[in-house]
Structure 1
Amino acid sequence: MGLPPSANESHASKIRHEDLVAFSRLVGNDYRAMGAALDATATMVAGKFNLREVRAGLLVHASDARYEHTVTTQMEKNQSLNFSIVLSGGWQATLGGTSLASGAGPSATTFVLSEPDLWQKHAVRGGHARMVNVMASPEWLEASILDGSGADSVSMASLTRRHRLHAHWRPSARLVGLADRVLGTPLYAAGLQKLYLESRAIDIVLESLSLLVESRYPAGSSGRPGDHRRMWAVRERLDHATHETPSLSELAREASVSTRTLQRQFAAVHGIAIFEYVRSRRLDRSRRLLEREGISVAQAAYEAGYSSAANFATAFRRRFGLSPRQARDGV
């Protein structure tokens, strides 16, 4: 199905729900809003919002906008390498059941989809994001960057095959400047503007990839190399804790740091407090159990670590924009 002309180049001040449906076809399939009955003409985003394919397999999304609804949308996102540069505000999402979020203040996030996967975006009414996202398909990467020669090319190719790999760091001044220029007023006529956006997108891809290839702890982030290795090990430990979450003291002992240092370094490396990360993972898991297994709200509250079903429901609605019962019933 073809896209309407506006879906590939719109920068309108108001983006309707039907516009987002059209935009979604550029990046994936089976888009839908969860737990909300939205009219096709409902305004979803107010402000600057532009998504366009500047070259086959290379997309640029620029947004300086406010969310008009609290809603979770989901889709099957295409195989791609994704780069997000957030200048202010931020975003929250779930990739294949794993929580992702931008950090506070200027932040950069990269995540890899070596195969199509479930992507859920969580928007809160009144929330704002000033950011640039660049999405590159495997075909574009292979034709443009991964020529197969040299150690760097081999390392980049290996990175693009690591499904759900994600990294978060503090962007360099150059990356911030590139994103700011993408968001700025067009400098050229329409035809040249597309070329301008393509060149800025390529610069973002190259700088981000070079940082990821150089080390697991990208340059520009705070902390020493050892801190980053330890905190990634802690995060992986939490990600693989399917039943009982290890205590702070246990995690600190395994990382050979104090509990206070653990909390400080985890937040510095991952852009989120360790308590918030654990809570978000528990809420994500409870939602999957509600939607896929139809467990009771009381069971879901227990699985999420809440002794009070009312407190659980409040936290659940704050995160997802719908009640646990609505999630279970598919409303």
Structure 2
Amino acid sequence: MSIILSSASWRELWDESWQNARNVDPLDSSDVIGEYPTQIAKGYKRNISLRNGIDLTLHRYTFHEDVITLDGQACEAGCLEWVFNLSSTFKFWDGSYVTDGQHYVAGMLMPGGESLDIARDPRIEVDIHLKPELFRTLAGEHFHLLPLELQRMVEGDESLPFSSLQTTTPAMHLVLEQILNCPYQGLTKQLYLESKSVEILALYLDSVMTQQKSKLAVKLQLDDIDRIHQAKDILLQHAEHPPSLLELARKVGMNDCTLKRGFRQVFGTTVFGYLHDYRMNRARKLLEAQTMSVQEVARAVGYASVSSFYAAFRKKFGMNPGTHLAANRRKGI
């Protein structure tokens, strides 16, 4: 049997828990534990704010039953979040599963929809939160060398709510265990956790940049990159009635295979994956403007079939476009 909750009910239960949160470290008022609502699980979340601008959330709890969270609305997250899952299995709104020993980055827009937490194993997890501008400061002049997916998330691209899943390396696992089992208090604890949080980010970057180098073994020429950007501009100019890949390649003077491969290298997605993300984000903004009906928005972003538009929007954002429009009207935005 499963426990089924709306996202609003879930938030209400946690609001009550955090009101009764207790301080863990007598020398650090920013280190607090909130007991997991007893109706759902046994255990806690521990929040620690560090002086370097990084916030940690440490998870240790076991669900009584599988937990299904329904009807979530998309919302702004306010920060980037590195999620390192050491033990448990859960399902994203898009149907993909995260298992133990995997990690990912959550972006600035948290999608709505249905999620599933599986009660089989205890949840042990370390989350690292930081503002995009802080991450850019940490990356410094090397920001442009980062994987394009990560660059887009840092720059606030809401079409990427989550990064691709990555495998946690043994070196990462060791540092995560050290964070979970930090033996210190007060200033010593702050210094220790600050250094460990930066270390885990460094290990993460080393892993993804190593993968990036292997993917970019075939280097594009500058002229190719210019043509690929030109192809992107043409694609967006004709987003309602886009050219085929072959037509687009001819317009910019490339063969279609080079354009297909190069577009993914430059933008981190396929030609028509990029177009789909553009259409969906434009549709969301048109709905939020509240000047058009769902049918009008569907036509405006190039969908002849309203049912196809509904399916694409729900898959992207975890809710129907009509629900999103109604929610914004209630909020008055």
Separation of aligned partners in 1, 2:164 and 2:318: 28
Output aligned runs, 1:193-208, within 5 Å.
197-207=193-203
Task: Tell me how far 1:317 sits from its aligned partner.
Answer: 2.7
Which residue of structure 2 lines up, in the alignment, with residue 69 of structure 1?
70
Unaligned runs of 5+ in 2: 1-8, 19-36
Residue 54 of structure 2 is aligned with which of 58, 68, 78?
A: 58
Given the alignment, which residue of 215, 223, 227 partners 2:215? 223
Greater Rg, structure 1 or structure 2? 2
The answer to whether structure 1 residue 122 and structure 2 residue 105 are counterparts is no
Query: 2: CA distance between counterparts of 1:182 and 1:251?
Result: 47
Of 278, 300, 304, the match for 1:303:
300
Structure 1 unaligned segments of length 5 or more: list them.
Answer: 1-14, 24-40, 94-102, 112-118, 147-151, 212-216
Question: Which of 269, 276, 281 is the aligned partner of 1:279?
Answer: 276
Which protein, 1 or 2, shows the higher relative CO under an 8 Å CA cutoff with sep ≥ 6?
A: 1
Preserved contact between residue 103 and residue 167 of structure 2 (Cα < 8 Å): no
Deviation at 1:137, TM superposition (A): 5.2
User: Aligned to 1:313, what secondary structure does the other structure show?
Assistant: helix
Match runs of 1:69-148 below 5 Å? 69-75=70-76, 77=78, 82=80, 84=82, 119-127=108-116, 133-136=127-130
User: Which secondary structure does the structure 1 equivalent of 2:303 belong to?
Assistant: coil
Change in 2 beyond 3 A, CA 1:136/1:181: same
Greater mean deviation of Cα atoms: 294-303 or 161-170: 161-170
Task: Read off the aligned partner of 1:135 and give its amino acid letter.
Answer: H
The match for 1:324 is 321
Aligned in 2, Cα 1:272/1:154: closer, same or farther, shift over 3 Å?
Answer: closer
Would the aligned equivalents of 1:286 and 1:304 in 2 still touch at CA under 8 Å? Answer: yes
Q: CA deviation at 1:316?
A: 2.1
How far apart are the structure 1 equivalents of 2:181 and 2:201? 21
Give the C-alpha shift of residue 289 in structure 1: 0.3
Of 276-285 and 202-211, deviating more is: 202-211
TM-score normalised by L of structure 1: 0.54
Report if the CA contact (8 A) 1:295-1:328 is conserved. no
- Deviation per residue, 1:137-192 (Å, 9 max, x gap): 599789xx87xxxxx96556999x99717797886865x74267537993344737
Superimposed CA distance per residue, residues 86-145 of structure 1 (whole angstroms, 9 cap, x where no aligned partner)? 66878789xxxxxxxxx999676598xxxxxxx421143235699755334599789xx8
Structure 2: distance between partners of 1:240 and 1:45: 52
Query: Which residue pairs with 2:256 in the alignment?
Result: 258
Match 2:289 to one of 285, 288, 292: 292
Question: What do the CA deviations read for 1:236-294 (whole angstroms, capped 9, x no partner)?
Answer: 964885441353225545484534x6556656786655434422321221121011142
Q: Which residue of 1 aligns with 2:26?
A: none
Q: Distance in 1 between matches of 2:220 and 2:43?
A: 37
Task: Give yes or no for contact 1:267–1:274 (8 Å, CA) kept in 2.
Answer: yes
How far apart are the structure 1 equivalents of 2:178 and 2:82? 17
SS in 1 for 2:70: coil
Q: Which amino acid aligns with 1:126?
A: S
Number of aligned residue pairs: give it.
Answer: 267
User: TM-score w.r.t. structure 2 length?
Assistant: 0.53
Q: Check whether the contact 1:84–1:110 (CA below 8 A) recurs between aligned residues.
A: yes
Displacement of 1:55: 3.0
Q: Deviations over 1:23-75 (max 9, x none)?
A: 9xxxxxxxxxxxxxxxxx9x999998655323351123467997622423323
Letter matched to residue 302 of structure 1:
R
Aligned pair in 2 of structure 1 residues 326, 84: CA closer, same or farther (>3 Å)? same
Give the aligned CA root-mean-square deviation in angstroms. Answer: 5.7
Amino acid at match of 1:122: P
| Percent identity (aligned) | 20
In structure 2, C-alpha distance between the alignment counterparts of 1:153 and 1:227, rounded to whole Å: 24
Distance change in 2, residues 1:202/1:234 (3 Å): same
Equivalent AA in structure 2 for residue 71 of structure 1: G
Structure 1 counterpart of 2:82, one-letter code: S
Which amino acid in 2 is paired with 1:244?
A: H
1:277 and 1:204 mapped to 2: Cα distance?
31
The within-5 A match list for 1:39-50 is none
Q: Secondary structure at the match of 2:319?
A: coil
Aligned match of 2:25: none
CA gap 1:267/1:300 in 2 versus in 1, 3 angstroms: same
Q: Aligned AA for 2:69?
A: E
Alpha-carbon deviation of 1:295? 0.6
